[in-house]
Every structure is written in structure tokens, then in C-alpha cells.
């Protein structure tokens, strides 16, 4: 039937009620134009959903007990749902089939009456504006999360528009699992959200599945029960993108993504009040792009690899927190360029971190020079099976990975492990408090490694400071301005288990005492088959003095007065004290220390013949 310019008023229940007892295949579809449907005892119109497109302006709806248009479950064919100033109640599962396009006018509200799904296989055009949002929500007087299921975009056949749309109070469990307010599958780039609010889901705000790459621009994704946006691969990875969004006050991570998706998050973004307030990244290959500093950490939730030919840039100030025993592998290029005020941090995600919470940054045959500047690496070094590598593990890296201004600490094994053909230039870097060696160089067969250190500290590690084996070597500074510190390590400060002679000059070894330093180094002096470590000259903690200091010999005057022998000597420049030794044999060992002090004179009783030796000390 066609209702044109009719008054349908003051009826006990519905104004117009459509039903088909033989199923929706034979559903009735009346049309309406310029009608007044008022003061009825229930809904003014109770229709099948595809019938909504047959209501044309002008229409008047007032005074009805439920002043809304009720839509029953239906397939929705091409047409427009006009904004009549009252909501549409969605009373069943709806579907826009392939080849069909539903346009929802700005300002419309769709209220879901129960546990229903709105499926889009065709095309949805929901183009609101700043003054007239389109709303998808619960039909409850006091809405509760999870009252309805979700909007399901499944392989839509044309680009959809969702602009200024507010979607809330969905996320009911479906087939035993949580979806969210919105579920996307096989969407490609056909579904994009602009100026939308996605909130108050019982579960996720949005769940993104197979091969779906929606763009979220200027959206608010807030107050959802679990994740703001949750991506899951199922073998066909989804990669949503984000720009200028507020993702706040969600019950879990604001974004739960595959790691390669992180490059698709563009500033500005706002994250606050989420629990936890971090971006979670799942195991993935990481292709060329930039991980922007979003002001919250990235949680690494699986093994990551930068493949050959790809370059990952990590912006200054970023923090990567490893959730478990994972490895960050670099086969391509890593650009982690922090600065003095904005370090880049690789650490544990545990509330109370422990050494070995994660494995390693594993640099294996990178294809271009990496940048690793002002980076702090901590609590890594977990075992690879039964093998101890390190928080930084280099293999076939050549000179392509050079830590500068870095701290590598609190690892469960070595700080830096060099396997084959690695020659990192380690500059202004501290390697400390690791459970094994600070730097461990192994031969890796016939591919020795040779680290070089400048202005760096290898200190307080529980094994060796630096350990060399096979044909490995090490290079240190050639003047005081190129000092290094190697001290406080539990075993030898330097263990040269090679046949190479090593020049290790201008190093502060924790003391300036020759004997102390000599005992801190294992080399040819301990095993004649090994190479020698030449540590002369060395330096002090302030790196301002070269040792050993060669002092002038004191000029000594000896007199005997009143039965005492008196020794007097001139003050020697740079001397801090003096020692007087004696022997009864002028060719003896002079082992008897008679005096150790700062005076330039000394005396004793001349009761026997002695010979004296005076030395200046610094």
C-alpha cells in the first residue's frame, strides 16, 4: 500500500504494523509520504528494515508511546534512511547484501533493541557532519555495554563512509568470543572512520581481522571494556592506520596491533587512562617505516624481524618494553637515533624487571649502516636454548652497528656478544652490571671480531670485563682524550684467550697501581701460549693523568751528626711521597723499607753500616 498525506492517529497500539507469517521472503513493504502519524499506543511504524527507504519527507511523528520507527530483521537494498527527527529501532539482524548501498542521512540515530548484528557486505554511506552525528547505540533507557553485538563489515564491495558516527554499547559475545562495537573482515581499504566516536563496548572498541586496513582519522575510541582497537592476523594480516585520534580509558591496551602496523600510527595521537597505557605489538616482520614517539611505550609481544632491504626508524624518546622471552632481529637496517634529552629504551615490561626478561637485539648481516645512538638496553640476555649470548648479539655485522652514547646493563648473560666478523665502534657507551662478561668476542670459526672502544666503560659485570678468544682482537684509544674504563668486573678485567698481542692503552683499570693492573689482566704473563696485553700507559679515574709517571731521582745528601745518620733530599716535581729503603750490601735487594711519607728528610741511629736508596712516588 501507498500512504500519502494521511493521518494515522490515536490508535491503541501501532500506527502501521507489518508482519509476514510465511517469512521475510514475502514481507510487505508499504510506502509513506507527507503523513502525520501521532498519538498511537506503541510505535508509529513497525516495518521490515528494507522498508525504511520507502518513507519520504515530509513526515510528522509526535505523541506516540514509543516515538521511533521499529525495523525488523531484513536484507537492506539500495536506498536512503531519511532523518525524520526520531530514532530507528533495530529489532533484528540486518544485512546490506553485495551490490546494494544503504545511505543513512546525517543526524539519524539507530537504536539496537537486543543482541543483533548489522552486517555490511555491500556499501554503507553514513556521512554525518559536526552538527548532525549519526548514532548507533542501545535502545535501553540507561544503556549498558554489550546490549547489542556489532557492526560487521565483511568484504564490502565499494568504499564505505563513516563520518561523524558515534557507535556505542555493543560488543556482546558472539559465537563464544568477543568482537567489539565494530568487526572488520576482508575489507581492504574500503572502510574508513573519520570524526567518529567508538565507545562503551563490552569488549573491544574495534576488532580488525583478515586483510582489513581501515583508516581512523580524528576519532575518539574510549571507555571500551578491553582493547581500543584489536587486530588479529588469522594468516591475512590487517593493518589499520591512525591519525589524530584519542584512544583513552579502555580496559586494556589502546591499540593491539601487528608490529609492522606501528608505522601506520601518525602524530598527533592521545593515549591516557588505558590499562595498560601502551601500544602492544605482536610478532611480525617490520618493513620500512617510522615508529613515532607517541608518548607511551611500545610493548613487544613477540619476535620481531627487520628483513633485508627494509629500514625501521625509531624516533627519539621511544620506549620498547619486551613482554617476554623475545628477540628483535635486524637483517635490514635499524635507525635508533636518540639524543641526550630523549633516549631510546629497550627494556622489560615487567613491573619489577629482572635480568633475562627478554632475549636480545640480534643484528645478523645488516644490509646498511645502522644508527644506535643514546639507546639504553636493559634486562635482556635470556638464554637462547642453553646458549649464553647477550643483550646485544652481533653476527656478521661488520662495522654496520656502532653503539654511541648508550647504556647496556642488567642483562642475564653478556652485555655485548660478538660472534663472526663484527667490528663495532663502541663510543661513549657504558656496559655494566651484566651477569656474565661486558663484551664477549668469539672467533665464530674463521671470522674473528674486533671491537673498538673510545670513551666507554665496561664496569661491574659479574664475569670478565672483556673476553677475547680464537683470533679476535680489540682496539682502544691512542691518547688520553680517547680513554676507556674497565674495572669492577668480578673476574679478570681483560682476558686475552688468543695468541694476538693487544694494545690496551689509556684505560683506567680501577687503580693506578701497576701490580693491581697486572693482576687484573690474563695474558701471556699467565699462560705463555697466549698473546700479551700492553696496557702501558694507563690513566686514572679523572682521565687527566698518564701512568706510569716517570719522576726524577731525588738528589740525596747524607750526613752523620751526633751518632745519627741524616738523609736530606730535594723535593721532586710531581712526587706525592717518598720511600727510603736500606740494605747492608750495596748490591743487595734493598727490601727493607725504612720510611714512607711526604717529608724530604729522615734519620736514624748510625749504629751499623748501611746503604740507602731513596725513591720518589706518585
pLDDT given for residue 618 in this prediction:
79
Tens-digit pLDDT profile for residues 388-432? 899 999 999 999 999 999 999 999 999 999 999 999 999 999 999
133 part of a folded domain: no
pLDDT given for residue 277 in this prediction:
98
pLDDT classification of 177: cutoffs 50, 70, 90:
confident
pLDDT given for residue 438 in this prediction:
98
Work out the average pLDDT over 456-465.
98
pLDDT given for residue 235 in this prediction:
85
Structural domain including 610 reads 556-617
Tens-digit pLDDT profile for residues 424-443? 999 999 999 999 999 999 97
21 part of a folded domain: yes
φ, ψ of residue 97 to 5 degrees: the values are: -70, 165
Tens-digit pLDDT profile for residues 514-545? 899 999 999 999 999 999 999 999 999 999 99
CA distance 536 to 444: 30
Which stretch of 174-183, 195-204, 301-310, 372-381 has the lowest confidence by average pLDDT? Answer: 174-183
CA atoms lying within 13 Å on the CB side of residue 168: 21
**Could you give the percent of the chain with pLDDT greater than 70?**
99
pLDDT given for residue 512 in this prediction:
93
pLDDT classification of 387: cutoffs 50, 70, 90:
confident
Position 360 pLDDT exceeds 80: yes
Which residues are within 8 A (CB) of 458 and not within 5 positions of it... i.e. 6 or more apart? 415, 431, 432, 438, 439, 465, 466, 484, 485, 486, 489
Paired residues of 246 in beta bridges: 220, 270
pLDDT given for residue 385 in this prediction:
86
Work out the average pLDDT over 210-217.
97
Q: Which of 44, 72, 100 is the last residue of a domain?
A: 72
pLDDT given for residue 25 in this prediction:
64
pLDDT given for residue 443 in this prediction:
79
pLDDT classification of 80: cutoffs 50, 70, 90:
very high
Q: Which of 72, 101, 123 is the last residue of a domain?
A: 72
pLDDT given for residue 27 in this prediction:
82
pLDDT classification of 567: cutoffs 50, 70, 90:
very high
Q: All 3 cell numbers of residue 313? A: 626508524
| Alpha carbon distances (Å) from 612 to 25, 64, 557, 570, 579 | 122, 121, 11, 16, 10
CA distance 278 to 272: 9
Position 234 pLDDT exceeds 80: no
Position 580 pLDDT exceeds 80: yes
586 part of a folded domain: yes
Position 291 pLDDT exceeds 70: yes
Position 24 pLDDT exceeds 60: no
Work out the average pLDDT over 561-573.
93
Query: Helix H segments across 434-534?
Result: 514-519
**DSSP track, 449-464:** ---EEES-EEES-SS-
Q: All 3 cell numbers of residue 486? A: 674497565
**Could you give the percent of the chain with pLDDT greater than 90?**
93
65 part of a folded domain: yes
Neighbours of 560 (CB within 10 A): 10
pLDDT given for residue 615 in this prediction:
93
Q: Between vectors from CA 40 to CA 37 and to CA 46, what angle results, nearest 5°?
A: 70
pLDDT given for residue 364 in this prediction:
98
Which stretch of 20-29, 163-172, 222-231, 374-383 has the lowest confidence by average pLDDT? Answer: 20-29
pLDDT given for residue 22 in this prediction:
63
**What domain count does the chain have?**
2
Q: Which of 72, 88, 112 is the last residue of a domain?
A: 72
Tens-digit pLDDT profile for residues 242-270? 999 999 999 999 999 999 999 999 999 99
pLDDT given for residue 375 in this prediction:
98
Say if residues 122 and 156 touch (Cβ distance below 8 Å): yes
5 part of a folded domain: yes
User: Dihedral of CA 239/245/250/252: which sign?
Assistant: positive
Amino acid at each position: 500500500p501507498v500512504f500519502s498525506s494521511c493521518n494515522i492517529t490515536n490508535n491503541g497500539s501501532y500506527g502501521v504494523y507489518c508482519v509476514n507469517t510465511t517469512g521475510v521472503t514475502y514481507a510487505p513493504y508499504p510506502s509513506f509520504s507527507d503523513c502525520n502519524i501521532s498519538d498511537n499506543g506503541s510505535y508509529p511504524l513497525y516495518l521490515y528494515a528494507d522498508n525504511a527507504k520507502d518513507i519520504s519527507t515530509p513526515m510528522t511523528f509526535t505523541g506516540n508511546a514509543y516515538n521511533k520507527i521499529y525495523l525488523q530483521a531484513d536484507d537492506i537494498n539500495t536506498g536512503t534512511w531519511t532523518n525524520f527527527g526520531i530514532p530507528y529501532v533495530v529489532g533484528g539482524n540486518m544485512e546490506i547484501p553485495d551490490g546494494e548501498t544503504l545511505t543513512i542521512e546525517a543526524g539519524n540515530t539507530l537504536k539496537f533493541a537486543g543482541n543483533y548484528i548489522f552486517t555490511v557486505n555491500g556499501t554503507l554511506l553514513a556521512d554525518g557532519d559536526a552538527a548532525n552525528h549519526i548514532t548507533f547505540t542501545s535502545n535501553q533507557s540507561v544503556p549498558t555495554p554489550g546490549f547489542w553485538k556489532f557492526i560487521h563489515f565483511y568484504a564490502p564491495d565499494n568504499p564505505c563512509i563513516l563520518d561523524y558516527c558515534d557507535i556505542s554499547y555493543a560488543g556482546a559475545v558472539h559465537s563464544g568470543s568477543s568482537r567489539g562495537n565494530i568487526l572488520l573482515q576482508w575489507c581492504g581499504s574500503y572502510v574508513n572512520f573519520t570524526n567518529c566516536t567508538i565507545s562503551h563496548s563490552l569488549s573491544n572498541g574495534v576488532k580488525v581481522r583478515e586483510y582489513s586496513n581501515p583508516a581512523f582519522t580524528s576519532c575518539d575510541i574510549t571507555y571500551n571494556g578491553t582493547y581500543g582497537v584489536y587486530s588479529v592476523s588469522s594468516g591475512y594480516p590487517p593493518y589499520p592506520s591512525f591519525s589524530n585520534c584519542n584512544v583513552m580509558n579502555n580496559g586494556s591496551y589502546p591499540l593491539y596491533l601487528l608490529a609492522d602496523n606501528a608505522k601506520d600510527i601518525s602524530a598527533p595521537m592521545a593515549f591516557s587512562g588505558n590499562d595498560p597505557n601502551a601500544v602492544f605489538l605482536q610478532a611480525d616482520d617490520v618493513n620500512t617505516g617510522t615508529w613515532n614517539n607517541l608518548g607511551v611505550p611500545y610493548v613487544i609481544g613477540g619476535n620481531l624481524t627487520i628483513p633485508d632491504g627494509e629500514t625501521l626508524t625509531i624516533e627519539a624518546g621511544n620506549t620498547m618494553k619486551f613482554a617476554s622471552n623475545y628477540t628483535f632481529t635486524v637483517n635490514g637496517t635499524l635507525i635508533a637515533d636518540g639524543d641526550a634529552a630523549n633516549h631510546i629504551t629497550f627494556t622489560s615490561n615487567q613491573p619489577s624487571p629482572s635480568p633475562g626478561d627478554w632475549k636480545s637485539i640480534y643484528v645478523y648481516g645488516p644490509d646498511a649502516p645502522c644508527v644506535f645512538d643514546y639507546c639504553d638496553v636493559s634486562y635482556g640476555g635470556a638464554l637462547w636454548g642453553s646458549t649464553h649470548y647477550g643483550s646485544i648479539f652481533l653476527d656478521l655485522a661488520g662495522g654496520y652497528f656502532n653503539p654511541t652514547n648508550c647504556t647496556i646493563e642488567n642483562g642475564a648473560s653478556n652485555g655485548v656478544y660478538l660472534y663472526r666478523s663484527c667490528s663495532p665502534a663502541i663510543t661513549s657507551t657504558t656496559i655494566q652490571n651484566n651477569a656474565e662478561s661486558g663484551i664477549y668476542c668469539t672467533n665464530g670459526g674463521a671470522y674473528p671480531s674486533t671491537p673498538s672502544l673510545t670513551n666507554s666503560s665496561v664496569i661491574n659485570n659479574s664475569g670478565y670485563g672483556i673476553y677475547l678468544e680464537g683470533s679476535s682482537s680489540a682496539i682502544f684509544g691512542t691518547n688520553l682524550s680517547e680513554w676507556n674504563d674497565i674495572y669492577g668486573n668480578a673476574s679478570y678485567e681483560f682476558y686475552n684467550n688468543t695468541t694476538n698481542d693487544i694494545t690496551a692503552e689509556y684505560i683506567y683499570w680501577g687503580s693506578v697501581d701497576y701490580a693491581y693492573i697486572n693482576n687484573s689482566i690474563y695474558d701471556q704473563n699467565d699462560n705463555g701460549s697466549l698473546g700479551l696485553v700492553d696496557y702501558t700507559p694507563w690513566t686514572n679515574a679523572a682521565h687527566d693523568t698518564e701512568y706510569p709517571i716517570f719522576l726524577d731521582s731525588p738528589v740525596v745528601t747524607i750526613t752523620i751528626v751526633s751518632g745519627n745518620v741524616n738523609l736530606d733530599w730535594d723535593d721532586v716535581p710531581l712526587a706525592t711521597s717518598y720511600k727510603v729503603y736500606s740494605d747492608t750490601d750495596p748490591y743487595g735487594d734493598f727490601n727493607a723499607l725504612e720510611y714512607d711519607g711526604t717529608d724530604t728528610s729522615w734519620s736514624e741511629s748510625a749504629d751499623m753500616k748501611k746503604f740507602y736508596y731513596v725513591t720518589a712516588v706518585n
